[in-house]
Amino acid sequence: MRTLLPVLFAVFLSTQVFAQRRSELIEEVSNLNGQIDSLETELVTTQRELKTAQTKATTIEQQNDQLKRTNQDLLDNLNKFIAASTQKSSHITQTLEALQKREAQLKGINESFSAHDSISYQVLTDLKSTLGENAQIGVENGAVLVILNNSTTFANTNNKIALSNSGSDFMNKLAATIARHDTLAVTVESNGNSSWSGVANKAAVIADYLVNTGGIEAGRIEAVGKAADADVTYIKLHPRFDKYYLWLREEIKNGR
């Protein structure tokens, strides 16, 4: 009996220790299961957050790509606008330059007209002063016109047409005025109802006198005869229309 009691006591102690150890193990397993549950929950949460982050990242990347395309489109449109503006500005500059050239051209033509008008007025004033108020003087088509009566201007000497004394005096005064305005051309136009040769000879007589006696350059004078009822001679002082026309044509043609 004495031997059995210690054995039983030892078994009892062992049983208590085992039971306590088993309880501790169960508690430890329970704790571990709790940690596993917690970790699984954290894992699920982390996976969910990761998926959300990936979705956000994908969305941001898509938005970034869209912004890049939008920026590129804006840049392309800006470049096109700049190119169009530059081209338009170039066209405007060219147009302004053309308008300025045209304005300068018109200004030059107007100035030439004004200069001719001024010269005509000067010549008209000079002729009235030189020839007297009784002289028949006017302006026609840009030319200063002196009208002579052929019956008093010419005399028939030895069946030849020549200037009368009054005609010669008149031509001397006229030649002095013509000489002072050496930029003008002179047209002598005799009219009459006689033969062509008769009126042409009268124009030639005046032209010869102006050249040989009056000292006028022959290249400035043109003599013509025309058949008409009036027996008169017109002496026209005018710009050299042929040269002026050529100058004007070149101005318009070249757009200067």
Q: For residue 233, give the nearest of 169, 168, 140, 152 by alpha carbon.
A: 152
Q: What residues form DSSP beta bridges with 147?
A: 136, 234
Residues 6+ apart with CB under 8 A from 182: 217, 220
Report which of residues 191 and 193 the model is more confident about: 191
Q: pLDDT tier at 246 (50, 70, 90 boundaries)?
A: very low
Contact 163, 208 (CB under 8 A): no
**Residue with structure tokens 């201007």?**
153
Contact 203, 188 (CB under 8 A): yes
Q: Does domain 114-249 have CATH number 1.10.150.120?
A: no
- In tens, the pLDDT along 76-110 reads 887 877 877 777 777 787 777 766 666 655 555 55
Contact 174, 139 (CB under 8 A): no
Fill in the amino acid letter for 115.
A
The overall pTM is greater than 0.85: no
- In tens, the pLDDT along 196-237 reads 888 999 999 999 999 999 999 999 999 999 988 889 999 999
Q: For residue 186, give the nearest of 153, 154, 221 by alpha carbon.
A: 221
Distance CA 131, CA 111 (A): 29
Q: Provide the terminal-to-terminal Cα distance of the chain, rounded to the nearest Å.
A: 149
Q: pLDDT tier at 249 (50, 70, 90 boundaries)?
A: low
Cα dihedral 53/57/59/65 (nearest 10): 180
Fill in the amino acid letter for 181.
H
